[in-house]
């Protein structure tokens, strides 16, 4: 009897320990999954270290304030449009139960998926710009970071696919037959296509209001000019030490990496420092400082 009681207690203790270990293992597993997901998301939305040749970077170099306003307004418009399209597509699948052969239902499904893929990217990029603006960071640096991220590259490819899918949707809508059981599907498709056309017109309107003719003229003062190799070589180089800067955690505005002990830095006439290899490549395209946009050959 005593032995049976001891055996029961041992079994209960073993089960309790097993349950506790299982709970700890599950918690640890979820924590690891969340940490890996956060690291993957950070890598996906962060710069890959290369120098961006995106047109938005060039626009930001010419007029940072106007480019920042344009970027924020267009992203907000795109987010609202994506939410609207997703709502309309959900409505289409709830209200229309017809099984006719018209491809409009599948067109709406694919189009909503394309919008769903782009929505998180647009939200993250808008938050990055708003955060940089709140901390008074350089918009040119923020744009350079955004446009070299894998998320931006994917977004560009998805945008091209979306435009192609819109053209296909117009063709299908014009050539699809009628169906009395799902006439609402036709008008919902027309609504989505009209939204896309309206969004394009509003984007053009935002661009013209953000960049008047006088601000997009490429005159001699704003034209991008590369520095000569002699001008680049004449800029002084220093090695990074802990007492070089008064603030800790200083970083290169081109590659966004922190300066490390012994790194070779090049100092521009405006007293801004960058990694030598980074700023040399930048100056081979533009002789303006990435931070203050001052020319390296400007008269003091």
| Fold classification of 229-283 (topology level) | Herpes Virus-1 (3.30.40)
Band of pLDDT at residue 220, cut at 50, 70 and 90: very low
| pLDDT recorded at residue 199 | 92
| CB-count exposure of residue 101 (10 Å: 0-12, 13-18, 19+) | exposed
Closest alpha carbon to 171 in 108, 104, 115, 109: 104
Residue bearing the bigger pLDDT, 283 or 93: 283
State how far the Cα of 227 lies from the Cα of 284, in Å rounded to an integer: 6
Domain boundaries, the chain: 1-45, 55-216, 229-283
Residue with the bigger pLDDT between 224 and 127: it is 127
pLDDT for res 185:
78
3: how many CB neighbours lie within 10 A of its CB? 7
Measured between alpha carbons, how far is 190 from 93 in angstroms, rounded to an integer? 15
Which burial class, exposed, middle or buried, applies to 126 when counting CB atoms under 10 A from its CB (0-12, 13-18, 19+)?
middle
- The 3-state secondary structure of the chain reads CHHHHHHHHHHHHHHHHHHHHHHHHHHHHHHHHHHHHHHHHHHHHCCCCCCCCCHHHHHHHHCHHHHHHHHHHHHHHHHHHHHHHHHHHHHHHHHCCCCCCCCHHHHHHHHHHHHHHHHHHHHHHHHHHHHHHHCCCCHHHHHHHHHCCHHHHHHHHHHHHHHHHHHHHHHHHHHCCCCHHHHHHHHHHHHHHHHHHHHHHHHHHHHHHHCCHHHHCCCCCCCCCCCCHHHHHHCCEEECCCCCCCCCCCECCCCCCECCCCCEEEECCCCCEEEHHHHHHHHCCCCECCCCCCECCCCC
| 198 Cβ contact partners less than 8 Å away, ≥ 6 residues apart | none
Best-predicted range by mean pLDDT among 50-59, 160-169, 257-266?
160-169
How far is residue 278's CA from residue 259's CA, in Å, rounded to a whole number? 12
The least confident of 20-29, 181-190, 240-249, 255-264 is 20-29
Q: What's the CA gap between 145 and 143, in Å, rounded? A: 5
pLDDT tens per residue, range 169-215:
888 888 766 666 667 778 888 888 999 999 999 999 988 888 775 44
In angstroms, the Cα distances linking 108 to 86, 99, 193, 223 are 9, 15, 10, 44
Using alpha carbons, select from 156, 160, 89, 90 the residue that is nearest to residue 121: 156
Task: Kindly report, residue by residue over 128-145, the tens digit of the pLDDT.
Answer: 888 877 776 777 777 877
Q: What average pLDDT is seen over the chain?
A: 76
pLDDT at 300 over 70: no
Strands 264-267 and 237-239: antiparallel
Mean pLDDT confidence for 221-239: 78
Higher pLDDT among residues 212 and 166, named by residue = 166
Q: What percent of the chain has pLDDT over 90?
A: 10
Query: Does position 112 have pLDDT exceeding 50, yes or no?
Result: yes
Strands of 237-239's sheet in order across: 237-239, 264-267, 273-275
Task: Supply the pLDDT for residue 48.
Answer: 65
pLDDT at residue 154 tops 70 = yes
Q: How confident is the model at residue 272 (pLDDT cuts 50, 70, 90)?
A: confident
Residue 277 pairs in a beta bridge with none
Rounded average pLDDT over 285-298? 77
Looking at per-residue pLDDT, the higher value among 28 and 45 belongs to 45
- Centre a 10 Å sphere on the Cβ of residue 24 and count the other Cβ atoms it contains: 10
CA 216 – CA 232 distance, rounded (Å): 28
For residue range 36-84, list pLDDT tens digits in order: 666 766 777 776 666 666 777 777 777 778 888 888 899 999 999 999 9
């Amino acid at each position: 009897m005593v032995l049976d009681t001891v055996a029961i207690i041992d079994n209960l203790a073993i089960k309790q320990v097993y349950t506790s270990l299982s709970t700890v293992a599950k918690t640890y597993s979820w924590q690891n999954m969340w940490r890996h997901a956060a690291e993957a998301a950070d890598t996906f939305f962060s710069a890959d270290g290369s120098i961006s040749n995106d047109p938005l970077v060039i626009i930001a170099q010419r007029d940072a304030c106007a480019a920042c306003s344009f970027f924020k307004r267009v992203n907000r418009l795109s987010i609202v449009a994506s939410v609207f399209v997703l709502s309309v597509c959900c409505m289409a699948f709830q209200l229309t139960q017809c099984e006719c052969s018209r491809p409009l239902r599948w067109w709406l499904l694919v189009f909503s998926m394309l919008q769903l893929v782009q929505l998180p990217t647009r939200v993250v990029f808008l938050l990055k710009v708003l955060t940089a603006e709140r901390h008074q960071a350089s918009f040119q640096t923020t744009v350079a970071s955004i446009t070299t991220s894998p998320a931006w590259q994917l977004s560009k490819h998805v945008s091209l696919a979306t435009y192609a899918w819109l053209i296909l949707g117009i063709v299908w809508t014009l050539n699809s037959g009628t169906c009395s059981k799902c006439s609402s599907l036709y008008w919902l498709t027309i609504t989505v296509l009209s939204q896309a056309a309206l969004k394009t017109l509003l984007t053009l309107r935002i661009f013209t209001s953000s960049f008047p003719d006088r601000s997009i003229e490429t005159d001699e003062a704003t034209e991008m000019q590369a520095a000569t190799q002699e001008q680049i070589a004449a800029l002084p180089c220093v090695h990074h030490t802990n007492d070089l800067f008064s603030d800790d955690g200083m970083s290169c505005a081109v590659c966004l990496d922190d300066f490390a002990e012994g790194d070779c830095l090049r100092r521009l006439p405006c007293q801004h420092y960058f990694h030598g290899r980074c700023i040399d490549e930048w100056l081979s395209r533009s002789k303006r400082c990435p931070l203050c946009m001052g020319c390296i050959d400007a008269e003091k």
